[in-house]
Amino acid sequence: MRLAIWVLAAALAATGLASAAAPTLDELARDVTRAEAIRDVKTLQRTYSQYAQYGLWDEMAALFALDGTLETGTGQLRGRSAIAAYFTRGLGNGHQGLAPAAVNTELIAAPVVNLAVDGNSAKGRWDRFVLRSDAQGHASIEGGILENTYVKDHGVWKIADLHFYPQYSGPYETGWTNVEGQDLPIIPYHYDGDTAGLPIPPAVGAAPRTPATLSSLEHRIQSLNDEDQVRNLQAAYNYYVDRKMWDDVADLFSAGSELEMGGVGVYDGPQGVRRALERMGPAGLTRGQLNDHLLFDDVALILPGGAEARLRGFELGLVGEVSTGEEHWEVNVFDNRFVKEGGIWKVREMRLFPLLRSDYHAGWGKSHLSEPVPQGALAPDHPVPKADQGARDALIPAFFAPNPASGRKVQLPPGKQFVAAAALTGRIPAATAAPAAGTDQRLTDATRRLAVSMAYDAAENVNSAYGHLIDDFQWPEMAKLFGRHGAKEVPFAGYYAGAERITHAVYLEYGDPRGGGRASIAFHWLIQPVINVASDGRSATARSYLFHPDTAKASSSASLFGAMYPENQFVLEEGVWRLWNLSLDEPYFSLPAGWKGGWSSLAPAPRAAAPRPAAAPAGPVHYFGAALVEKFPPDVPITALGVREEHYRGGTGEVWEWPQILPMWWGYRNPVSGRKPENFLPDCVPCDYAPELSMTRHGYLLPPTGP
């Protein structure tokens, strides 16, 4: 008994969940509710985007508090009724739903969500990128920042203030520019470098009495843990598809699984999944192939019984091949069902419904491509179910949950039909409950498992905050995100350890923080994280895709590129989550000839670069990163990384530009099969060469890397 209390006290002191004493049931209930609040806020905002996709204006307005406000850069609307009228009149031409061929895809990502001390309100910052077109073929893009306030109203989370700060927009044909062609101000932050890593501040005062039982709290904590794993599984799927790792994709599916491709057909089991994937070509990317499928706006639900889960969201496809000049956009809605088998989550049903498939040069306003049903060896096993057939513009994949604010079933607009309402496969039995342990042991384990899911959200917060702060050249605040021994890679130079050295390095490399206005912004959205947390809830890792839209005053500067953060590391220091190590793989793809050329245009000839020296140079030399190394030598120069410097563009002095395919490093094995990736990275990038940078040297556990 005494040992159990001591272990629990140590866990609580490490996680900052409560005081050093063992928690009461009331305190545990309060902590679970506060952890769930972060998820509820994210679900609320992601649901907003899902409703916007189909012009469900009344459903969107219902997400607001009765006296909620909407600010879009042109004025403020107050009250749910006024907001509903604005959506219906201004975006829907007086009607619920979108006109045929119209597009209203809101991609939001990179959340930083912070709960208020009292647990009854929260603030959230998001990146926003919107694809639009009307029924007459006029397509456009707009983007910017959301800084929102959320409120708990009679136990239900609602939007109190949705404040969109537009930063860029423009017609598809020419690309976007800064709003009104002006310098862009820095959007006010609700957090700083210290509070980003504290999404749930310590509660104040005694915990209220709870009617919850320990058993019910354990089930709620398990649902949080399960949601983490399901999200990781989905993100891993998208990463494997990006790289055409067909064996790894098929590993994620259960034996009795089904894959429905809207408009194409249904494929049975892992082998059918493999055939469906080969419609995109054989395994492995070759030079100039782009197959990115990026994950946005996903809403999760763990069903009672603990063995079944659902996930619904969007997939943005950037697909092309330089050798043929082919390139096109895709937006698909996915509505997936998962099963837990032997303690491991697997895909039971994957259902993908195309919203748009458009030629890059024509855009989604003018181009509406259909995918033909393949024949022969790649043909589906079954046609699309009759209930899921119909014109693309008329189909809406059914929502598996009611409106999270109103609690009512989502209403179907006139002329539309719900699809994917019935399961493709049979009932999933409830999970078998483990034998109950003693109360003290259960409290200890419940507290630890809650800390794991709280760490998941904290790591996502810090990950997203890093991108937001470097977008704005907020170097001191960005450096505060790093822990005492935290190390950041500065591209082509090396690693700098500690906030002071990191700050000085980025000042030298990129200049002073900019003031009131900026002529251009290179955005850093860190999206689609696979977040693995150590069993004690004190350390975590995250693989993240870098979605990188750039804006400036001239439309010729509009651009996109993609890259990878293979294994960001995070630790809990004195109750606040911090970055331990940050490394880059770059680039993944770019637009070598600008917006009009797209990602499949011909790339310019590679530039020559002098070989890197083995150590910091004694005199002036000319290679990427040389100026910074000369002025301020890194703690670990990039040249010390041996074979791993191959995953940097120009890491060996040879510039690797798209359409060359860079090797990518992975910090985890396949989450279902345990298959080890070709380039496996169980610890930080520089740890082999600077062991003192490994978190294990400082008393932290490495997060798990596989099942």
Residue 184 CA from chain centroid, whole number: 25
Report which residue type is found at 524: H
> How far, in Å, CA of 350 to CA of 266, rounded?
10
Residues 479, 482, 484, 487, CA torsion sign: negative
Q: How far is CA 149 from CA 22, 124, 202, 617, in A?
A: 33, 6, 20, 51
Predicted structure pTM score: 0.94
**How are beta strands 177-178 and 156-171 bridged, if at all?**
antiparallel
State which residues of the chain have pLDDT below 70.
1-22, 513-516, 586-587, 603-625, 643-655
N-term to C-term CA, the chain: 32
Q: Which residue has the tokens 């972060």?
A: 38
Q: Which residue has the tokens 């219902």?
A: 62
Classify residue 436 by burial, with Cβ atoms within 10 Å: 0-12, 13-18, 19+: exposed
Q: Which two tokens stand for residue 6?
A: 């001591």
pLDDT of residue 500: 96
pLDDT of residue 3: 29
CATH of domain 448-698: 3.10.450.50
| Segment holding 142, helix H or strand E | strand 139-153
Angle at which helix 25-53 crosses helix 439-471, to 10 degrees, equals 40
Q: Where exactly are the structural domains of the chain?
A: 34-181, 214-439, 448-698
Mean pLDDT (the chain, rounded): 91
Q: Which residue has the tokens 């600010």?
A: 71
| Segment holding 269, helix H or strand E | helix 269-277
Rounded to 10 degrees, the C-alpha dihedral 24/445/194/484 comes to 130
Would 214-439 and 448-698 be classified into the same CATH topology?
Answer: yes
> How far, in Å, CA of 361 to CA of 451, rounded?
48
pLDDT of residue 437: 81
Q: Which two tokens stand for residue 187?
A: 């959007």
pLDDT of residue 491: 85
8 Å CB contact between 488 and 482? yes
> How far, in Å, CA of 649 to CA of 231, rounded?
30
**How are beta strands 156-171 and 64-71 bridged, if at all?**
parallel
Q: Which two tokens stand for residue 488?
A: 């950041």
CATH among 3.10.450.50, 3.40.470.10, 3.40.50.2000, 2.40.30.10 for 214-439: 3.10.450.50
DSSP classification of residue 257? E
Report which residue type is found at 257: S
Residues 34, 35, 38, 40, CA torsion sign: negative
pLDDT of residue 586: 65
- The CA R_g of the chain, rounded to the nearest whole Å, is 25
pLDDT of residue 655: 62
> How far, in Å, CA of 639 to CA of 641, rounded?
6
pLDDT of residue 436: 77
Q: Where are the beta strands (DSSP E) in 10-120?
A: 64-71, 76-78, 103-115
> How far, in Å, CA of 643 to CA of 491, rounded?
16
8 Å CB contact between 246 and 272? no
pLDDT of residue 654: 59
> How far, in Å, CA of 624 to CA of 622, rounded?
7
Residues 270, 276, 281, 287, CA torsion sign: negative
Q: Which two tokens stand for residue 480?
A: 């505060």
pLDDT of residue 657: 78
Residues 71, 72, 77, 82, CA torsion sign: negative
Residues 285, 291, 292, 295, CA torsion sign: negative
Neighbouring C-alpha atoms within 13 Å toward the C-beta of 213: 3
Q: Which fold has domain 34-181?
A: Nuclear Transport Factor 2; Chain: A, (3.10.450)
> How far, in Å, CA of 419 to CA of 353, rounded?
9
- What 3-state DSSP class applies to 110? strand
Q: Which two tokens stand for residue 463?
A: 């990950």
Q: What is the largest CA-CA distance in the chain?
A: 73
Length reported for the chain: 707
Q: Which two tokens stand for residue 500?
A: 């002071």
